[in-house]
Amino acid sequence: MKTAVIIGTRGLEAFDPGLFEEPGSVRLVLVSTERDAAEHLTAEQRGWFDAIRLVPGSAPDPEPLLVPQVDADAAADVVAGVSAEAGHGPAPTVHCYAEQNLLAAARIRERLDLDGPRPADIVPFLDKLEMKRRVAAAGVRVPAFGRWEPARYAAGARAYFDRLVGEVGLPFVLKPTDAAGSLGVVFVESWADFAALPAGGELGRAYEYEEFVDGTLYSVNIVSAGGRTVFGGVTEYLVNSSEVAEGRVNADINLLDDDPRVGRMVAFAGRALDALGRPDGASHLELFRTASDELVFLEVGARFKGMSGLAAMQRHYGLALVNLAFGIESGVRSRPWEGEQVYCFDACLPLREGVIRELVEPELESAYEMRWTVRPGDRVARTSDLVTVGGTFLVWNADFAALSRDFRALAGYQPFTYEPAALRVPEGSAA
């Protein structure tokens, strides 16, 4: 019997072991942090696993984005024990669909000499500087970029600003070299913005600076096997990530396969993946299409896109995509997806700072399902990344033209109303 170890709960929402062609041929083991399992693992999902092993997180009090991140050594000890239990049977396979645990999974494979990507294979997908160096060397257009140097800022902020503007133009972007979900991204539109950065230019982690590309944002979602694309799909974003912090709904619609943009963008993404070594399984690449029809690489992860987006993709294409990737990685084959195929897109709901007064349903032609994560009366902070949002929703329709109209209509949708500032009660005071 094969043993497959899944690191973290990410991806389980779109996974279906009930589709396995030979259910008794594989033993599933989950390795997770206690908080990740408590917050995200459903009762149904618990029933899929022969064993669930909880391990410490990578930090004692992690920020929300890092809650699922396991301690790699502790997780490796668990997988070593699982391997010993298997005796002389096949070596276990290790699977991960979360950015936060990709490197830990690779370290486990390397330590235990298991099949699958090792750290050297994964680092180019996690380090944005190394990623763009390799992609640019392959002749793929990337934004002008470079490593952020706090010492240069501290030595003379104005001179450093002038140098960067001369190199990448204005506005430009500062972003962590190792983060995801737009976490920590800073847009510099003026000298005043630059001068307002923390004293000494220390931004708390390694950063890069990057040319701001004006264009429409797309994602290219690929599943690879043996160095070739076995699935490729493209989504168009309603707004760019810089506009989410302004309160605009972050939606992306899956394009039809016969859309002329799709083949071109999948081929573009394939060249970038080849430059990075293209591991088997899922990848999620973002690019810009400019007004002059130029494609510009933004970044790529060796994993699926966000879970609401993945759920929309599966319904749109009628494919069990996590099962597809899992089968490539483990050899465990699945039957075709058994749900209804219907055109579908997803959206995230950004927050403004204040006290929520009302949750506002969208006015759409299509069917939809909301998942609110806040309630009236909640005091919330302004969304500064693609993780801290007030909810998500899926929209679907058998009529793609109608679905597209709804997608465009969301450009003006405001999902929340807020209490007027004069009515807000300061924290710590009596009502």
Domain ranges of the chain: 2-117, 144-211, 342-431
Are 26 and 19 contacting, i.e. CB atoms less than 8 angstroms apart?
no
Are 333 and 223 contacting, i.e. CB atoms less than 8 angstroms apart?
no
Residue 293 per-residue DSSP state: -
**Rounded alpha-carbon distances, angstroms, from residue 213 to 134, 168, 186:** 19, 10, 14
Beta strand spans in 58-171 (E): 93-95, 145-147
pLDDT digits (tens, 9 = 90+) for 111-158: 999 999 999 999 999 999 999 999 999 999 999 999 999 999 999 999
Q: What is the pLDDT of residue 386?
A: 59
State the CB neighbour count (10 A cutoff) for residue 80: 14
The residues near 152 (Cβ < 8 Å, ≥ 6 apart) are: 159, 160, 163, 201
Q: What pTM value is reported for the model?
A: 0.90
**Using CA atoms, how far apart are residues 236 and 327, in angstroms rounded to an integer?**
28
Q: What is the pLDDT of residue 75?
A: 97
CB-hemisphere CA count at 13 Å for 390?
33
Q: What is the pLDDT of residue 31?
A: 98
Start-to-end CA span in the chain (Å): 62
Q: Which two tokens stand for residue 56?
A: 């410490």
Question: What phi and psi, each to the nearest 5 degrees, are found at residue 382?
Answer: -65, 135
| 3-class state of residue 276 by DSSP | helix
CATH for 342-431 is 3.90.1170.60
Are 304 and 282 contacting, i.e. CB atoms less than 8 angstroms apart?
yes
Are 18 and 37 contacting, i.e. CB atoms less than 8 angstroms apart?
no
Give me the residues of the chain with pLDDT under 50, please: 423-424, 429-431
Q: What is the pLDDT of residue 245?
A: 66
For 32, the enclosing helix (H) or strand (E) is strand 26-33
Mean pLDDT of the chain: 92
State the CB neighbour count (10 A cutoff) for residue 90: 14
**Using CA atoms, how far apart are residues 153 and 167, in angstroms rounded to an integer?**
15
Residue reference for tokens 């994993």: 303
**Using CA atoms, how far apart are residues 356 and 415, in angstroms rounded to an integer?**
10
pLDDT digits (tens, 9 = 90+) for 147-168: 999 999 999 999 999 999 999 9
Q: What is the pLDDT of residue 14?
A: 93
Bridge partners of 217, per DSSP, are: 288
**Using CA atoms, how far apart are residues 342 and 345, in angstroms rounded to an integer?**
10
The class (CATH top level) of 2-117 is alpha beta
Are 422 and 375 contacting, i.e. CB atoms less than 8 angstroms apart?
no
Which CATH architecture best describes the domain 144-211?
2-Layer Sandwich (3.30)
Residue reference for tokens 């190792």: 178
State the CB neighbour count (10 A cutoff) for residue 265: 24
The pLDDT > 90 percentage for the chain reads 79
**Using CA atoms, how far apart are residues 128 and 59, in angstroms rounded to an integer?**
23
Are 105 and 7 contacting, i.e. CB atoms less than 8 angstroms apart?
yes
| 3-class state of residue 295 by DSSP | strand
